[in-house]
Structures are given as structure tokens and as C-alpha cells.
Amino acid sequence: DGGITQSPKYLFRKEGQNVTLSCEQNLNHDAMYWYRQDPGQGLRLIYYSQIVNDFQKGDIAEGYSVSREKKESFPLTVTSAQKNPTAFYLCASSPWAPLAKNIQYFGAGTRLSVL
């Protein structure tokens, strides 16, 4: 089955701890994205990557880090510098080419809570 897999579904973070959220896709998409969703605020872009070994900050990158060592994988680390990490995190992927129609497909999300 082609798709985007996020894990874990639920994650708990202790004070001062870094945690990493996994995102894997087998759609052969070049681009991958991380969004944060809070109630009533829609989706806000954290980071995105158009190609392996390259990524760009989105609108709310502070306190987060990413890597893109493989085309299929785009893990997100929520660092201790992120003071309000409780949210629903969504990973997406899409084709990325000049004049492309950027249809983003989403994973099922990870809900992060602070203990």
C-alpha cells in the first residue's frame, strides 16, 4: 500500500527532553513537510524539504529540527527549546517539479503531550 506512515501515534515528552517523530513515505515524492496543528488554528508549516539533504524553515521552525538523509524519510525532532510542544503533528509529501501541481498527501498524525 502506498502512503505516508507516521509513528508513534501518541508520544509523551518530559521537561527538558528531546523527542523525535518519524515520517516515512513510499509514494516516491520528492518533497516532504511537517505541520503543527493546534485547535482553531489550522495547519502551520514547521519545516519542508524539496530534495534529499536539503530543507527549509517554515513559519514556526523555532524549537524544532529535521533531517532528510533519505528520500523516503523526514524525521522531526522537538527539542527542549520548544516551550509549548503539545500539539498534533502532521507529515505530508508531494511531488516537486517546475510548474508542478503541488498536491500534498498527509499521514495520520502524531499527538505529542507534555508530562
Partner 1 sequence: GQQLNQSPQSMFIQEGEDVSMNCTSSSIFNTWLWYKQDPGEGPVLLIALYKAGELTSNGRLTAQFGITRKDSFLNISASIPSDVGIYFCAGQLGYGGATNKLIFGTGTLLAVQP
- Binding residue for partner 1 (CB under 8 A) from 14, 15, 101, 115? 101
Whether the Cβ atoms of residue 114 and residue 86 lie closer than 8 Å to each other? yes
Quick one: three-class SS letters along 30-76? Answer: CEEEEEEECCCCCEEEEEEEEECCEEEECCCCCCEEECCCECCECCE
Question: Which residue, 38 or 69, is less far from partner 1 as judged by CB?
Answer: 38
* Whole-number Å distance between alpha carbons of 39 and 54: 30
CA-based R_g, the chain, Å: 13
Interaction mask 4-33, partner 1, x per CB under 8 A? x-x------------------------x--
Q: How far is the CB of 67 from partner 1 (least distance, A)?
A: 20
Q: Does 111 bind partner 1 (CB under 8 A)?
A: yes
Q: Which residues bind partner 1 (CB under 8 A)?
A: 4, 6, 31, 35, 40-45, 48, 56, 58-60, 88, 90, 92, 96, 98-109, 111
